[in-house]
Amino acid sequence: MTSQTTKGTALITGASSGIGAIYADRLAEQGYDLILVARDADGLKAKANTLVGTGRAVRTLAADLTKAADIAEVAAILCDDETITLLLNNAGIGATAPLLDSNIDALEAMIDLNVTALTRLTHAVVPSFARRGRGTIINVSSVTALAPELFNGVYAASKAYVLTLTQALHHELAEKGVRVQAVLPGVTSTTFWATAGLPVSNLPTSIVMTPDQLVDAALAGLAQGELVTIPSLPDVGDWAAFEGARKALAPNLSKSAPAARYTESVALEA
């Protein structure tokens, strides 16, 4: 089914395959024109060809978001194109080896993509969204943001950054009409895991979700107004309890004196 009513343009990073490609399908169905961004020019062209029948306008841009010049090119589009109403920061790479077994240059490239590119693209689009009083930013994080012991610590830290940034953006931008969402996938059956060094075929099927299921759940969470969507989590009350406990710490995180347990222990040792 095609839609003739446009919701504006969605710019999707990492759009040539996997989660990003499914998002492209779903957002086109919902009435968005698309700007598809990825490093793989041939993959982008192939993906765009699958969307011809949707009736939506589809543009592609081959860009390596670990490179400053390419990030700047995409950022310029986000700054200048006022048809853009949704930014999906999906591009990312992972790692599964421990820090001691990892290549530092590869880890830095991962930070460049997962953290720096995402931040620059978000910063590029926010002024326009805030000025117009509308717009949506979807940031793809990971459940490792909440469970850093699972895989590589630098990867988990990069995804914790994405979650924290999204929560902070909600605090800053909600009253300006800008909607944000962090999506925390668990293991999803894409080439992401093979690239990270742990093919999905090596993992229990009970923990692996299809990208179609993941994206449909994430978009349902967005429609329900969720700030944080964890598609695998059976009881949303568990997340509410986690967040409640985190927020309960706030009044006691900065005081004029150390907690008694630290001063008392010093006195006892003396």
Name the residues annotated as catalytic: 155
CA angle 142, 147, 152 (to 5 degrees): 75
- Spatial contact of 84 and 57, defined as CB atoms under 8 Å apart: no
Report the distance separating Cα 192 and Cα 255, nearest Å. Answer: 43
- Spatial contact of 156 and 142, defined as CB atoms under 8 Å apart: yes
Report the distance separating Cα 98 and Cα 103, nearest Å. Answer: 10
> Shortest CA distance to 25 belongs to which of 7, 6, 3, 50?
50
Report the distance separating Cα 58 and Cα 9, nearest Å. Answer: 9
Beta strands 33-38 and 208-209, pairing class: unpaired
User: Residue 209 pairs with which residues in a beta bridge?
Assistant: 188
- Look up tokens 């759009």; give the residue: 15
> Shortest CA distance to 89 belongs to which of 124, 141, 42, 127?
141
- Look up tokens 């010093």; give the residue: 266
Beta strands 58-62 and 208-209, pairing class: unpaired
- Spatial contact of 195 and 149, defined as CB atoms under 8 Å apart: no
Beta strands 9-13 and 33-38, pairing class: parallel
Tokens of 173: 């931008």
Report the distance separating Cα 180 and Cα 168, nearest Å. Answer: 10
